[in-house]
Amino acid sequence: MMSKKLILTVLFICFVIFAYSDDSIDLFSKYSKLNEFKIELDIKLEVEATPTSISMDLYVDNFKYFYFTINEPNILSGVEYYYNLHADEFLTDLKKDVDKYKGVKNNLEIFKDFINILSVTYARDKFFVKEIKKDNNKIFYYYPKSKAALKFLGIDYTQMKIFLREELNNFTLEKIEFFNSNNKKRVIVKVNILPYDTSFIKKNLLEIQKQF
């Protein structure tokens, strides 16, 4: 049950990152120009007696080759994941023990349907938005006009804060926080997107393919 919640949480976070970027400050303008970059993602779920942490690094090469590793939880660490969009091949590499899976695009259609549902239920016009300026940071506070909850998570997340950090007259996404109605449960998402030489992905894939 927890693994299902974690997957749905990550999917929802991906939706929020791209759906709630504020056009007025052109938050993702510099990201959209990147062909090679790395995303550091740290998620902390404070929803049960024992907090749960998820940490992963995702590398993107021209939106054709993808590579990611999971740092936490430890049970999922140690495995390297690759995806070749052109060949539609997903590979897992555990200490040179490689498995290959085809037809991943079909599974991605499920994700697209999930996003379409969220885009209706959690559209920006369904939230009150308050902008707070603090030092060199901006905080966008979202509070829903209706009391619709994220039922699929089993927690009534009714509040959200997006923290932006100003650097050299540009704003970058620092973190996102989700709260339930009484502020006793929350999910904290820290995001860091930075340019990175990801040419190694294609090279590694070529070496891995020699095993097949």
pLDDT in tens, 67-82: 999 999 888 899 999 9
Q: Residue 45 corresponds to which tokens in the numbers above?
A: 């779920």
Outline where 37-127 has alpha helix (H): 104-121
Quickly state the pLDDT bin for 117 (edges 50, 70, 90).
low
- The CATH number linked to 83 is 2.50.20
pLDDT at 66 over 80: yes
Closest Cα partner for 138 from 159, 161, 168? 161
Outline where the chain has alpha helix (H): 2-19, 29-32, 104-121, 200-209
Structural domain total, the chain: 1
Bridge partners, 58 (sequence order): 39, 68
Bridge partners, 179 (sequence order): 159, 186
Report d(CA 126, CA 34) in Å as an integer: 31
In this prediction, what percent of the chain has a pLDDT beyond 70? 69
Give the structural domain span for 193: 2-209
Closest Cα partner for 68 from 80, 86, 77, 76? 80
Outline where 64-199 has alpha helix (H): 104-121
Length, in residues, of the chain: 212
Could you report the per-residue pLDDT of 147-183, keeping only the tens digit for each? 554 555 555 656 888 888 877 777 778 888 888 777 7
Q: Does residue 90 contact residue 100 with C-beta atoms inside 8 Å?
A: yes
Q: Does residue 14 contact residue 6 with C-beta atoms inside 8 Å?
A: no
Single pTM value for the model:
0.70
Bridge partners, 40 (sequence order): 57, 192
